[in-house]
């Protein structure tokens, strides 16, 4: 039997949402009639545009028809993964899947690897920092999936990191790509405004070791001298770096730097 939903009532519901002052609509794919998402979602998109209020339209069709390839003309974000759960394996795999569609993200339309699990207590602090760093550098929507009434101070500190959020909100809106992968080492990179580059140096493995990010992997001239801002320590490193930057990483942890050329 049919369940409550907007299918067939898109204009009525869009006007109702607008009258309620709604800013964000996540339009899920549950209990549809078998028609294709590429047919159903544009109907609600048009209804929202006629509703008289700007409403962020989040397409959640579970990547059934690769919405990154057509979603920009329909909504403001689109799910590139199945549902996330509060585990390291789920989180990191969603980041991997989302990265495959990096070329499609741009201001006005974003790849969505699903909500943040920070605060649900299934991962460690280091793992949640990786989670927030990868979502931010990937320009993913930063939507909280925890009970905000019961957040710990640790959770609040992670999700309110203004420097990391600023990377997510950078005006260029360029999603990060994996510049290098070697075993459990990964280098995620994205250009930022004002000639800056942001890099996440990631240890996906279970052993502590040193990881180096090279300028050539980031598209920087090897002779470029940069200052590095550590976004989780909130400090600019005293050393200047040429050609590469190296850091020691614990298992399932990362460093996030903004590199700014100084010569």
Catalytic residues: 28, 83
- Whole-angstrom distance, CA of residue 199 vs CA of residue 213: 8
- Whole-angstrom distance, CA of residue 128 vs CA of residue 80: 20
- Whole-angstrom distance, CA of residue 96 vs CA of residue 135: 11
Cβ within 8 Å of residue 191, ≥6 positions away: 172, 174, 197, 198, 219
Place of tokens 């980031």: 218
Of 66, 79, 99, which Cα lies nearest the Cα of 27?
79
């Amino acid at each position: 039997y049919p369940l409550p939903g907007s299918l067939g009532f898109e204009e009525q519901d869009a006007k109702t949402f607008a009258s309620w002052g709604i800013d964000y609509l996540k339009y899920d794919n549950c209990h549809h009639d078998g028609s294709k998402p590429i047919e159903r979602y544009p109907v609600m998109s048009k209804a929202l545009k006629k509703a008289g209020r700007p409403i962020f339209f989040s397409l959640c069709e579970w990547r059934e028809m690769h919405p990154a390839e057509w979603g920009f003309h329909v909504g403001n974000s689109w799910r590139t993964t199945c549902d996330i759960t509060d585990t390291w394996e789920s989180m990191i795999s969603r980041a991997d899947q989302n990265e495959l569609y990096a070329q499609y993200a741009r201001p006005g339309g974003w790849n969505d690897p699903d909500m943040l699990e920070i605060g649900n207590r299934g991962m460690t602090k280091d793992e949640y920092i990786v989670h927030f760093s990868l979502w931010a550098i990937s320009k993913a929507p930063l939507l909280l999936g925890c009970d905000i009434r019961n957040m710990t101070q640790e959770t609040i500190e992670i999700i309110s990191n203004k420097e990391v959020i600023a990377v997510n909100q950078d005006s260029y809106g360029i999603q990060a790509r994996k510049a290098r992968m070697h075993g459990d080492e990964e280098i995620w990179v994205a250009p930022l405004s004002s000639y800056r580059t942001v890099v996440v140096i990631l240890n996906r493995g279970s052993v502590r070791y040193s990881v180096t990010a090279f300028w050539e992997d980031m598209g920087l001239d090897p002779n470029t001298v940069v200052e590095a801002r550590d976004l989780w320590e909130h400090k600019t490193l005293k050393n200047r770096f040429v050609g590469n930057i190296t850091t020691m990483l614990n298992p399932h942890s990362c460093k996030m730097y903004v590199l700014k050329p100084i010569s």
